[in-house]
Amino acid sequence: MSKKNQSSGQSTIALNKKAKFDYFLTDRYEAGLVLEGWEVKALRAGKAQLTDAHILLKNGEAFMIGGQISPLIQASTHIRPDNTRIRKLLLNRREIDQLVGAVERKGYTVVPTALYWKNGRAKLEIALAQGKKEHDKRATLKERDWARDKQRILRTN
């Protein structure tokens, strides 16, 4: 961990870079996670992955499905760790209502974008997202390539 991250109490555990490529991300929310002890130890070691994760809203609650937290070899022997178990998210009622309204009425989906530490607690950043079409993805790649080329041109001059 760098000093900058330690002083502010935040450090990134995992990012979902695929979400920015596959979706137009709009509103972002910060959610807590209900974790078991072995999961916290694995997160401290950085053994998390969000690429295949998605958020399910059901009965006024939010759950993360498909996010992987790989157990450590030193994990306790009396438990059977399940690295892809469904994890409950901790959000305010108002935030959950906003998410449900956007998903049901406007056709949005909810995707996790980042997993990080904040004041010693694991937090998950989730975002409302609209799916990109194939031509949108190509445009994103084109813009990214142009920005890279522009930086090269400015550096050489």
- If you search the block for the tokens 């974790």, which residue do you land on? 35
Say what the pLDDT of residue 88 is.
Answer: 93
CA 110 to CA 64: how far, in whole Å?
10
The reply to whether 145 falls in a domain is: no
Q: What percent of the chain has pLDDT over 70?
A: 92
The reply to whether 12 falls in a domain is: yes
Using a cut of 0.85, tell me whether the model's pTM lies above it: no
Answer yes or no: is pLDDT of 7 > 50: no
The reply to whether 140 falls in a domain is: no
Indicate the number of domains in the chain: 1
Q: What is the CATH number of the domain that holds 70?
A: 2.40.280.10
Answer yes or no: is pLDDT of 6 > 70: no
Q: What percent of the chain has pLDDT over 90?
A: 32
The reply to whether 151 falls in a domain is: no
Instruction: Note whether 59 and 93 are within 8 A (CB).
Output: no
Q: What is the pLDDT of residues 122-133, one digit of tens each?
A: 999 999 988 877
